[in-house]
Amino acid sequence: MTINPTIADLRATLTDQLTHQGLLTDSRWREAFAAIPREAFVPFYFQPCQGRPGWRLVERGQEWWEGVYADEALVTQLNGDDTAAEAARRGETVEGTPTSSSSAPSLMATMVAALDVRDGQRILEIGTGTGYHAALLAHRLGADNVTTVEVDSVLAERARQALTATGYRPRVICADGTHGVAARTPFDRVIATVALPRVPTEWLEQTRSDALILIPLSCAGHGGLMTLLFRDATGGASGRFLARYGGFMPIRSTAQATAPKIRPHILDAARPTDVPPEALNDRHPAAFYLSLRCPTPYRIIQFTPDDGSTGVQTWGQGTDGSTFALSRINGTIKAAADGRLWNEIETAYTEWQTHGRPERQRFGVSAGRPQRIWLDSPDHVIVELGAT
Residue from 110, 111, 106, 144 nearest 127 by CA: 111
Residues 6+ apart with CB under 8 A from 290: 220, 222, 223, 279, 280, 345, 348, 349, 352
| Position 98, amino acid | P
The residue from 100, 101, 102, 103 that is catalytic is 103
103 is catalytic: yes
Gap between the Cα atoms of 384 and 266, Å rounded: 33
**Under 8 Å between Cβ of 66 and 39:** no
- Residue 255: per-residue pLDDT: 63
- Residue 163: per-residue pLDDT: 98
- Residue 1: per-residue pLDDT: 36
Residues 6+ apart with CB under 8 A from 22: none
Query: Running DSSP on this structure, what letter comes out for residue 196?
Result: B
pLDDT tens, residue order, the chain (388 aa): 344 578 889 999 999 999 999 999 999 999 999 999 999 999 999 999 987 889 999 998 899 999 999 999 999 999 888 899 999 999 888 998 889 999 999 999 999 999 999 999 999 999 999 999 999 999 999 999 999 999 999 999 999 999 999 999 999 999 999 999 999 999 999 999 999 988 999 999 999 999 999 999 887 667 789 999 999 999 999 999 999 988 888 877 766 667 788 788 888 889 999 999 999 888 889 999 998 888 788 888 887 776 666 678 898 999 888 999 998 878 889 999 999 999 999 999 999 999 999 999 999 999 987 899 999 999 999 988 764 4
End-to-end CA distance of the chain: 61
